């Protein structure tokens, strides 16, 4: 009997050991596994030092600012409380006061349009930065760039289908703005007796001209518009660096180089929410920006994809000399945001962003369809490889043309209708055009639409001038 008991206890003991081994394997190898199939780091149920930071972050986020502004941890403090920073025409301590008659500000390309998406994904995109997070200038395996982030950027492009990254070098910059000037530096000739000619096609993003002139080098010179250059010069044997903005800012059109020299493809807006993606871009030097992709302009992050090793080393050297690489805190945040952007092959993120832009364009196009005084750019459908169907572009900006002969300065005409835009000449185009930003907050867009509707109804009331 005793023997039977011992035998029975022995079996029970063995079964319990086996169950424990199975449990431990499941917990530590299964769930807590690191790698491709499980990117999440398993969390301990009780936190020690991050709780305070988390509750501070949640407390400031809980300040509603009446839904018309935001309070931030690093914002001003008044009476011990973070101050609400109000959108557009809202004011007061809690942003509840709409200022009547206030002008709709559609001037800047501040991309707040995706704020609701990031609020919906708060749990997955919040970053906790410890006091000792990456204090070094360098990463373990690279002085300046996170190899993990590099990997995710390549994954993002393969999902969006908008750029070839295989066998290409990637360099990070403080916003794509920094990479634009790094690219001009890298492509310009140091040995030639005359400076490289830097050009862009009107209407072009003003920074190309402003930076090239500001950095005032004997190696490069801004020469203006490609078409006028082409009609006055033969490009044979000319050292030309052409900025190709595709899609254009303003306009939103996909473009190709016209001069046949060296090119810098600025793809800040080459994402499925702004344009159908006909196929992956495969140019020698392509520049992308986090600002317009996810809306995190304040994070200041951009990247260049480069074919040629010499050019890559020059761009890298520029970034190293300018600021010894970019903030490691920034890179951590970008990694966190991109991991969410590419979830489920980018569907939730790009669907959200596209629907937001499409909705804004549908409503805007309806208002302009009732006007003969103002027109906006024509949009043409194109097959999008990301959404697998033909879609209309939904550009970040409306490029408005004032049609009446006397309305020579469209910005001024819009301003009289309490709408603030940028004049055509900011983009080296005619002032008969003005640019209106469509990527600001929902409040800003609603007010813009209201002011445009008023302007168009005024026109249809047969009033001669505003």
Ligand X SMILES: Cc1ncc(COP(=O)(O)O)c(C=O)c1O
- Chain residues binding ligand X by CB under 6 A are 109, 175-177, 205, 245, 249, 266, 268, 289, 291, 297, 302
CB of 211 or CB of 450, closer to ligand X: 211
CB of 197 or CB of 246, closer to ligand X: 246
CB of 292 or CB of 451, closer to ligand X: 292
Question: Closest approach of Cβ 221 to ligand X, in Å?
Answer: 21
Question: Closest approach of Cβ 153 to ligand X, in Å?
Answer: 14
Question: Closest approach of Cβ 219 to ligand X, in Å?
Answer: 22
CB of 245 or CB of 423, closer to ligand X: 245
CA atoms 398, 401, 402, 406: torsion sign: positive
Question: Closest approach of Cβ 173 to ligand X, in Å?
Answer: 8
Question: Closest approach of Cβ 220 to ligand X, in Å?
Answer: 18
CB of 243 or CB of 374, closer to ligand X: 243
Show Cβ contacts of residue 159 under 8 Å, excluding neighbours closer than 6 positions.
Answer: 342, 345, 346
CB of 304 or CB of 455, closer to ligand X: 304
CB of 413 or CB of 426, closer to ligand X: 426
CA atoms 72, 77, 83, 85: torsion sign: negative
Question: Closest approach of Cβ 266 to ligand X, in Å?
Answer: 5
Question: Closest approach of Cβ 205 to ligand X, in Å?
Answer: 4
Which residue of this chain has its Cβ atom nearest to ligand X in the complex? Answer: 175
Q: How far apart are the first and last CA of the chain?
A: 106
């Amino acid at each position: 009997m005793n023997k039977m008991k011992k035998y029975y206890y022995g079996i029970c003991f063995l079964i319990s050991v086996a169950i424990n081994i199975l449990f431990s394997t499941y917990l530590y190898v299964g769930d807590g596994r690191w790698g491709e199939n499980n990117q999440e780091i398993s969390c301990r149920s009780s936190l020690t030092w991050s709780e305070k930071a988390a509750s501070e972050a949640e407390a400031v986020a809980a300040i509603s600012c009446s839904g018309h502004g935001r309070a931030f941890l690093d914002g001003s403090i008044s009476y011990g409380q973070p101050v609400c920073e109000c959108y557009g025409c809202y004011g007061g301590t809690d942003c509840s006061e709409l200022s009547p008659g206030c002008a709709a500000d559609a001037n800047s390309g501040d991309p707040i349009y995706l704020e609701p998406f990031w609020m919906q994904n708060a749990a997955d995109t919040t970053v906790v930065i410890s006091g000792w997070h990456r204090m070094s200038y360098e990463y373990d395996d690279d002085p300046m760039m996170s190899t993990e982030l590099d990997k995710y950027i390549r994954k993002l492009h393969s999902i969006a289908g908008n750029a070839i990254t295989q066998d290409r070098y990637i360099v990070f910059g403080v916003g794509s703005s920094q990479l634009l000037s790094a690219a001009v530096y890298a492509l310009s000739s140091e040995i030639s007796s005359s400076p490289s000619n830097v050009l862009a096609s009107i209407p072009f993003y003003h920074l190309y001209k402003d930076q090239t002139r500001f950095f005032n080098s004997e190696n490069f010179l801004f020469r203006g518009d490609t078409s006028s250059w082409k009609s006055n010069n033969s490009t044979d044997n000319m050292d030309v660096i052409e900025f190709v903005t595709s899609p254009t800012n303003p306009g939103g059109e996909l473009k190709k180089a016209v001069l046949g020299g060296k090119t810098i493809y600025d793809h800040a807006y080459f994402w499925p929410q702004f344009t159908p993606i006909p196929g992956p871009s495969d140019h020698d030097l392509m520049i992308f920006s986090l600002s317009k992709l996810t809306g995190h302009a304040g994070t200041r992050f951009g990247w260049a994809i480069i074919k040629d090793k010499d050019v890559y080393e020059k761009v890298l050297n520029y970034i190293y000399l300018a600021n010894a690489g970019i903030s490691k805190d920034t890179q951590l945040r970008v990694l966190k945001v991109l991991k969410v952007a590419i979830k489920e092959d980018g569907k939730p993120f790009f669907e959200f962003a596209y629907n937001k832009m499409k909705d804004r364009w549908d409503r805007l196009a309806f208002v302009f369809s009732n006007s003969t005084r103002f027109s906006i750019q024509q949009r043409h459908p194109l097959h999008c490889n990301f959404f697998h169907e033909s879609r209309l572009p939904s550009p970040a900006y409306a490029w408005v043309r004032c049609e009446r002969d006397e309305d020579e300065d469209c910005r001024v005409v819009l301003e009289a209708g309490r709408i603030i835009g940028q004049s055509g000449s900011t983009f080296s185009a005619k002032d008969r055009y003005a640019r209106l930003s469509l990527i600001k907050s929902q409040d800003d867009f609603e007010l813009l639409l209201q002011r445009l509707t008023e302007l168009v109804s005024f026109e249809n009331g047969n009033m001669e001038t505003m």
